[in-house]
Amino acid sequence: MDAAPSAPKGWWTADVPCEEALCDELAAVLAEKFGVGAQVEKAWVRLYLPAPTAPSQWKSHLEQAVAHFRAAWGLPQSDPVRYGFCEDVDWNARWKEGFTPLRVGRRLVIVPTWEPYTPNPGDLVLTIDPGMAFGTGHHETTRLCLRWLEDVIAEWLHPTPPSLLDVGTGSGILAMAGALLGFRPVLGVDNDPDAVCIAEENQAMNPDAASVRFLTGTADAVRGTFSVVVANIQAGPLMAMAETLARKVAPGGRLGLCGVLSDQVASVLSRYEQVGFHAENRHQDGEWVLIALRARS
């Protein structure tokens, strides 16, 4: 009897066209949904799916996810996903090539677990293995939030340190950076239990961030108010949760909203002004903007 044909060794590829400013966001969404590697290029994202898995098992699900993402961001649906095949590659090695030690702001240094790093005096080093969760410090929105948190703590004049709530914590990078900077207490919340697991694994590698608590759920589930709230999500969800976030910021407290494109700022700002905030500043990196707000006293 002839042996059954062996499954091909390698990877199916799916190349998804995307606006350059949204490629990192799309890669994070698809990598999390399908549990596979994603490579970001200038105007598209490549997904690698293991060859033993037949395309018929995932193709329709992928195209539905792409259509949903495009609809959420108002992108055209006309650009087709292109499929191909490549020989075996060490995806883990290729994926890691893009993540090197990164200095953000004046003191924070984000170091991936696989990279050696010798800190300079005064460095606050955060070791991160992002897994499938969003947040490595290399994306513009994460950098904007980290710099803003550093500015907020530098301007804090009260003897009691400010408390911090990180909504949509992902890898936990913002919450843990907050702890290193001096925020107390710090809570990171995410509605994705896998992201919270990754955040807790990262916390285990950062003993100086041991004070951070992580919670699976939404901001609605969080009790009390915080001196500072940061939310690095997307414009649509940020607008939808305006009233919820308004209840989490202490009177006179500060709110940093990120994941907002430059042409979405006016709409997001208008929504938050309706629930009692006024704009302090805005910070931009490429197409992405962080809106810095303050609550009424």
pLDDT digits (tens, 9 = 90+) for 178-227: 999 999 999 999 998 988 998 999 999 999 999 999 999 999 999 999 99
Q: 213 forms bridges with which residues in the sheet? A: 187
Confidence of residue 3 (pLDDT cuts 50, 70, 90): very low
Asked if residue 190 belongs to a known ligand binding site, the reply is: yes
Range in 3-17, 162-176, 232-246 with the lowest mean pLDDT? 3-17
Which residues, 6+ apart, have CB-to-CB distance to 252 below 8 Å?
A: 294, 295, 296, 297
Q: How far is CA 35 from CA 29, 48, 195, 210, in A?
A: 10, 10, 12, 28
Q: Is 47 left (phi over 0), alpha (psi -120 to 50) or beta?
A: beta
CA angle in degrees (0–180, nearest 5) for 274-275-276: 95
Mean pLDDT, range 142-152, rounded to an integer? 96
pLDDT for the residue numbered 2:
33
Range in 26-30, 52-56, 67-71 with the lowest mean pLDDT? 52-56
pLDDT digits (tens, 9 = 90+) for 227-279: 999 999 988 899 999 999 999 999 999 999 999 999 999 999 999 999 999 99
pLDDT for the residue numbered 160:
96
Asked if residue 142 belongs to a known ligand binding site, the reply is: yes
pLDDT digits (tens, 9 = 90+) for 70-129: 998 888 998 999 999 887 656 556 666 667 888 999 999 999 888 889 999 999 999 987
pLDDT for the residue numbered 6:
42
Asked if residue 202 belongs to a known ligand binding site, the reply is: no
Global pTM reads 0.75
Q: H or E stretch including 253?
A: strand 249-261
Asked if residue 244 belongs to a known ligand binding site, the reply is: no
Which residues, 6+ apart, have CB-to-CB distance to 147 below 8 Å?
A: 104, 105, 283
pLDDT for the residue numbered 133:
46
At 262, list the tokens: 């430059």
Q: Is 60 strand, coil or helix?
A: helix
Please name each of the domains of the chain with its CATH number: 11-94 (3.30.70), 98-295 (3.40.50.150)
